[in-house]
A and B are shown apart, each in its own frame.
Chain A
Amino acid sequence: MLRLSLPWRIIIFSLLIIYFIVIATPFGVLFTNSFKSMREIYLHPFQLPEEFSIENYTKAWEKANLGPAYINSIVISVCSIGGVLLFSSMLAFMISRYQFRFRRFLYVYIITGLALPARLAVIPIYVTLNQLNLIDTRIGLIFVYIATGTAFATFIIKGFMDGIPREIEESAMMDGATPWTIYWKIAIPLTKPALVVVGLVNFVNVWNDFFFPLIIISSRTKETVPLAISVFFGEFSNQWHLIAAALSMSIIPIMIIFFIFSKNFISGITQGAIK
Chain B
Amino acid sequence: MKVKLRYILLFVVPALVFYTIFVVYPIGYSFNLSFFSWPGVGEKTFVGFENFKNILFGTFSEEFFSAVWHSFLFFVANSIFELGLAFIIAIALTSKIWGRRFFQTMVYLPNVISMVLVGFIWSMMLNPQWGLINSFLKMIGLENLAQPWLGQPETALPTVIMVNVWRNIGFYILVFMAAILNIPKDLFEAAYIDGAKNHHIIRKIIFPLVVPNMQTLAILIFIWSFNIFDVVYALEGVQAGPFRSTDVLGTLFYRTAFGGLGSSAQDYGLGAAVVVIIFVMVIPLSMVYANILDKRSREA
The reply to whether the CB of B117 lies closer than 8 angstroms to some CB of chain A is yes
Q: For chain A residues 227-262, which have a beta carbon within 8 Å of chain B?
A: 229-230, 233, 240, 243-244, 247, 250-251, 254-255, 257-259, 262
The digit string for A1-28, where 1 denotes a CB below 8 A from any CB of B, is 1111000110011011001101111110
Contact in complex: A111, B293 (CB < 8 Å) = yes
The reply to whether the CB of A204 lies closer than 8 angstroms to some CB of chain B is yes
Known pairs A108-B290, A114-B290, A120-B278; A154 contacts B15 (CB<8 A): yes
Residues on A with beta carbons closer than 8 Å to the beta carbon of B112: 204, 208, 254-255, 257-258, 265
The reply to whether the CB of B243 lies closer than 8 angstroms to some CB of chain A is no
Residues on A with beta carbons closer than 8 Å to the beta carbon of B8: 94, 98, 100
The digit string for A27-61, where 1 denotes a CB below 8 A from any CB of B, is 10110010000000110011000000000000000
- Picked from B202, B213, B223, B275, the residue with its CB within 8 Å of the CB of A115 is B223
- Picked from A91, A128, A230, A258, the residue with its CB within 8 Å of the CB of B21 is A128
CA distance A244 to B12 in the complex (A): 46
Residues on B with beta carbons closer than 8 Å to the beta carbon of A176: none
Chain A residue at minimum C-beta to C-beta distance from B213 = A274
Contact in complex: B22, A111 (CB < 8 Å) = no
- Picked from B122, B230, B283, the residue with its CB within 8 Å of the CB of A26 is B122
Residues on B with beta carbons closer than 8 Å to the beta carbon of A68: none
Residues on B with beta carbons closer than 8 Å to the beta carbon of A274: 175, 178-179, 182, 213
Nearest Cβ distance between residue B257 and chain A, in whole angstroms? 5
Nearest Cβ distance between residue B140 and chain A, in whole angstroms? 14
Nearest Cβ distance between residue B193 and chain A, in whole angstroms? 12
Contact in complex: B1, A275 (CB < 8 Å) = no
The reply to whether the CB of B132 lies closer than 8 angstroms to some CB of chain A is yes
Residues on A with beta carbons closer than 8 Å to the beta carbon of B18: 83, 87, 143, 146-147, 150
Contact in complex: A270, B12 (CB < 8 Å) = no
Contact in complex: B192, A3 (CB < 8 Å) = yes
Contact in complex: A110, B113 (CB < 8 Å) = no
The reply to whether the CB of A116 lies closer than 8 angstroms to some CB of chain B is yes
Interface size range of chain B in the complex: 35 or more
CA distance A95 to B212 in the complex (A): 26
Which label, helix, strand, loop or mixed, suits the secondary structure of the B interface? Answer: helix
Nearest Cβ distance between residue B260 and chain A, in whole angstroms? 11
- Picked from B132, B192, B217, the residue with its CB within 8 Å of the CB of A25 is B132
Chain A residue at minimum C-beta to C-beta distance from B95 = A2
Known: A112-B287, A204-B112, A250-B117. 14 other contacts (CB 8 A): A97-B1, A108-B290, A116-B286, A120-B278, A121-B27, A127-B268, A155-B293, A183-B11, A229-B120, A230-B234, A262-B105, A269-B174, A270-B178, A275-B300
Give the interface of A toward B (CB within 8 A). Answer: 1-4, 8-9, 12-13, 15-16, 19-20, 22-27, 29-30, 33, 41-42, 45-46, 83, 86-88, 90-91, 93-94, 97-100, 104, 106-125, 127-128, 143-144, 146-148, 150-151, 154-155, 158-159, 162, 166, 169-170, 173, 178-180, 183, 204, 207-211, 215, 225-226, 229-230, 233, 240, 243-244, 247, 250-251, 254-255, 257-259, 262, 265-266, 269-270, 273-275
Could you name 21 residue pairs across A and B whose Cβ atoms are closer than 8 Å? A1-B185, A4-B96, A13-B97, A16-B93, A30-B124, A42-B129, A45-B131, A45-B132, A87-B15, A98-B2, A108-B290, A115-B290, A120-B227, A123-B30, A127-B29, A183-B11, A229-B120, A240-B127, A266-B105, A266-B174, A275-B297
3 smallest CB-CB distances across A and B, nearest first, come from: A147-B22, A121-B26, A208-B114
